[in-house]
Amino acid sequence: MDAALGLPVLVGLIAVALLFDFLNGLHDAANSIATIVSTRVLRPQFAVFWAAFFNFVAFMVFGLHVAETIGTGIIDPAIVDAQVIFAALVGAIVWNLVTWALGIPSSSSHALIGGLFGAGVAKAGLSAAVWSGLSKTVIAIVLSPLVGFLLAMVLVAIVSWASVRSTPFAVDRAFRILQFASASLYSLGHGGNDAQKTMGIIAVLLYSQGHLGGEFFVPFWVVLSCQAAMAMGTLMGGWRIVRTMGLRITKLTPMQGFCAETGGAATLFMATYLGVPVSTTHTITGAIVGVGAARRLSAVRWNVASSIVYAWVITMPASAIVAALTWWAVKLFVK
């Protein structure tokens, strides 16, 4: 960002970034609570408080590897300025609002990455891209739902074998209790991976302005602000997407909900540790499909699942196009 633009512009852009983080929590709240709501273990109004708490405290568990990837591993930090950050956030926010209104569980993470890519390329061409970081993210688009799918299927097999001598009532009662733990772990993983993406945006903005000195890092006040914004968004809920994720893909029992959440949480923990900005939406959807398919393939509503996949495929290009158009519009307006 041009230093002459001053503090008000910097504060305004940070506010827009936190708005995106809030909308991320609103949009992706369904990822954290869909299964525990659909199995009727918790009512929606209580489930969002449960998820929001673990979203917030995630910074105490994970490092900031994902924030570093977003800040320095998608586009070259040297080309970052006010227009690039603003355009990237607009691209991500517009796509989030469109998919939220339609009840489509798309990826806020990939919307932000697509926005960064589109704005960076609009300013400096393809040389702005950090292809190593982008390739890692694109690979994760395929791997995260696949890993969630496989882990959930394996967990269903394990717990089904372990519960074979128990009555259905006893199994249901046990997994209603265990689902509190699995939902907590998933919300922790969601807060740890997703909030860091906005941290990376704010940190690279501060870095481009010289407010971090000569070294890129994420200030603690940025960490707290982003975790709080995401938790507040989660409190607002995303009921349209909860219905799609928890009710329309497949019918879940508490045991299946536990397996989906645990498989999804394990995937997120691994990705966050490795600094890979995966989609929590992709991960939990893969896990939910996995538990449904473990029962029988016909238990999954494949038409719903396929429409979600279409949204995944177009998320990054769509947000990139919106961001690029926004960059050009701002460029013309500033002139």
Task: Identify the DSSP state of 245.
Answer: I
Q: How confident is the model at residue 332 (pLDDT cuts 50, 70, 90)?
A: confident
Question: What is the distance between the alpha carbons of residues 257 and 109, in angstroms, rounded to a whole number?
Answer: 24
Question: What is the distance between the alpha carbons of residues 280 and 271, in angstroms, rounded to a whole number?
Answer: 10
Token match 């740890």: residue?
A: 192
Report the mean per-residue pLDDT for the chain.
82
Q: How confident is the model at residue 222 (pLDDT cuts 50, 70, 90)?
A: very high
Lowest-pLDDT range, 202-216, 220-234, 298-312?
298-312
Q: How confident is the model at residue 4 (pLDDT cuts 50, 70, 90)?
A: very low
User: Mean pLDDT highest for which of 30-34, 125-129, 209-213?
Assistant: 125-129
Q: How confident is the model at residue 133 (pLDDT cuts 50, 70, 90)?
A: confident
Return the amino acid letter for 136: K
Residue 90: C-alpha distances to residues 18, 99, 117 (Å): 12, 14, 13
- Whether 244 contacts 102, CB under 8 Å: no
Euclidean distance between the first and final Cα of the chain, in Å? 16
pLDDT at 1 over 50: no
Q: CB-based burial of residue 60 (10 Å sphere; 0-12 exposed, 13-18 middle, 19+ buried)?
A: exposed
Using DSSP's 3-state secondary structure scheme, residue 75 falls into strand
Considering only CA atoms, which of 318, 330, 328 is closest in space to residue 112? 318
Q: How confident is the model at residue 300 (pLDDT cuts 50, 70, 90)?
A: low
The predicted structure's pLDDT at residue 269 = 92
Q: Give me the DSSP letters along 107-122.
A: -HHHHHHHHHHHHHHH
pLDDT at 179 over 70: yes
Question: What is the distance between the alpha carbons of residues 141 and 122, in angstroms, rounded to a whole number?
Answer: 24
What is this structure's pTM? 0.79
Q: How confident is the model at residue 23 (pLDDT cuts 50, 70, 90)?
A: confident
pLDDT at 145 over 80: yes
